Amino acid sequence: MRGMFNGLLFFPVTPYQSDGEVDLAELAEHVKRGVDAGAGGVFVACGTGEFSALEPDEYRAVVAAAVETVAGRLPVFAGAGGPVYTARRFADRAKDGGADGILLLPPYLTEATGEGLVDYVRAATREDLPAIVYNRANARFAEDSAVAVSRLPQVIGFKDGAGDLDLMIRIVRAVQDAGTSESFFFFNGMPSAEVTQRAYRAIGVPLYSSAAFAFAPRVALAYYNALERDDQATLDALERSFYHPLARLRAKGTGYAVSLIKAGVELAGHPCGGVRPPFTAVRPEHREELAGILAAGLDALDALDARGGEAG
């Protein structure tokens, strides 16, 4: 089933220079580090990459820089979304920049019926560019609308960021029963997805986006490998020491799903220029707490190594 995606999915941040402009050189280094560390796919200029803060020319440059750095070793998908024709223009720029596909983010502000969301997906995407539909915020799909978008030839996957497992298990079953190809992908797109991935995997959602991989690749890969090996002891240890504390810290600040990850990248020794408005910087005491969580996760891996557990 994995097909195009094999391994942990990497969502890079978008670094900025001291003058606030996008730092394409640092972005390339950031992407290279992730690919070299063992990512299974690169999703650039998405939520973690501050898609909503990028203007179209910046966006295309970000996509092109990632594509050039990856150099065909992995699939590169780019975020697109917002007002319907704006989303389509971003999809066009993703295509121009060499992306292998797009992650379609929710439309701008307004709520919509299932039929309206299906029409949005159809109008915002290109038939010659694979698309993954993101179920979250004001783009909430039901079983029938999820089946309808899965039948669009350009839609290859469905990513859940709503966290309604009762509905998601019914969507997975409905899409499968509708005869969608076995190559259709389901993703867990919750913040700190590792916290919920055991549950998502149990309902047929094997793929997930790892924000932590951007700043703690060793921890993220150890967790992914433990899932693959059904190593419950390693999963328990990393959830206690790293993922559950990270989720609790993320809940302390609005917008921390992005700014906390960028703070982590900087703690790992790679300056990335903070965040653009409306996001705000991580508070100093929370940055210090994040440093402690990162150290605790690495200590847990060292302890697992010493006991012969899975730490890679």
**What tens digit of pLDDT does each residue of 274-304 get?**
999 999 999 999 999 999 999 999 999 999 9
pLDDT of residue 183: 81
Which pTM does this prediction carry?
0.95
**Two tokens at 147?**
């089946």
How would you classify residue 45: left for phi > 0, otherwise alpha for psi between -120 and 50, otherwise beta? Answer: left
pLDDT of residue 182: 72
CA 162 – CA 99 distance, rounded (Å): 26
pLDDT of residue 312: 46
Return all residues near 301 (Cβ < 8 A) that are at least 6 apart. Answer: 218, 219, 222, 238, 311
10-residue mean pLDDT series, the chain (312 residues) = 76 97 98 97 98 97 98 97 97 98 94 96 98 97 98 97 97 92 90 96 96 97 97 97 98 96 97 96 98 98 81 47
**Residues classed as catalytic:** 134, 159
Reply yes or no: is the peptide bond before residue 191 cis, omega within 30 of 0: no
